[in-house]
Amino acid sequence: MIKIYRPCRTNLICQTYGVTGTIPSMIPFYNKIGLKAHTGFDFTVACKDNQVRHGGQCEQLYANVIGSGDLTVTYVARTEESGYGIIAIDEMWNKFLWWHFDIIDPLIYVGKKLKLGDVLGVAGNTGMSFGSHCHFEYHP
């Protein structure tokens, strides 16, 4: 059984996934980058100010999943579209993704086993993002 919790202290989801969960004015943006709609859940995050780039001034993000067995980090990198991100899989090959970090914790690396509550990094606004938040995806 998989349990998913919020990845940060803030409890608000500002955008969900799929065409019905995507902010309508954002559909053209997603279409432009080859997607039909938003692909995950966006969680609001607390930041010290209202700047677009925060330099590590937003709240920490945490591993928010109890998977089917151990969660193992398979990817830690930066892409132009998604910014700094982490991908992990469990023993049943379920995939979990976190994107738009300002800072990824230096203790997160490919091969690391994640436990619920492990610090992943600091929320941010990297990649093609419109304000600091945590983008989370689950792919069974």
Q: What residues have CB less than 8 Å from 110, skipping those under 6 apart? A: 73, 74, 75, 76
Give the residue-averaged pLDDT of 33-58: 75
User: What pLDDT score does 67 carry?
Assistant: 85
- Tell me which of 58 and 105 has the higher pLDDT: 105
- Asked whether residue 96 carries a pLDDT value surpassing 80, the answer given is yes
Give the residue-averaged pLDDT of 98-120: 95
The whole-model pTM stands at 0.85
- Tell me which of 139 and 112 has the higher pLDDT: 112
User: What pLDDT score does 132 carry?
Assistant: 86
Backbone angles phi, psi at 88, to 5 degrees: -135, 155
In whole numbers, what is the pLDDT of the chain averaged over residues? 86
Backbone angles phi, psi at 83, to 5 degrees: 75, -155
DSSP for 120-140 reads: EEEEB--SS-SSSEEEEEEE-
Q: Which residues share a beta bridge with 76?
A: 86
- Asked whether residue 37 carries a pLDDT value surpassing 90, the answer given is no
Distance CA 105, CA 117 (A): 13
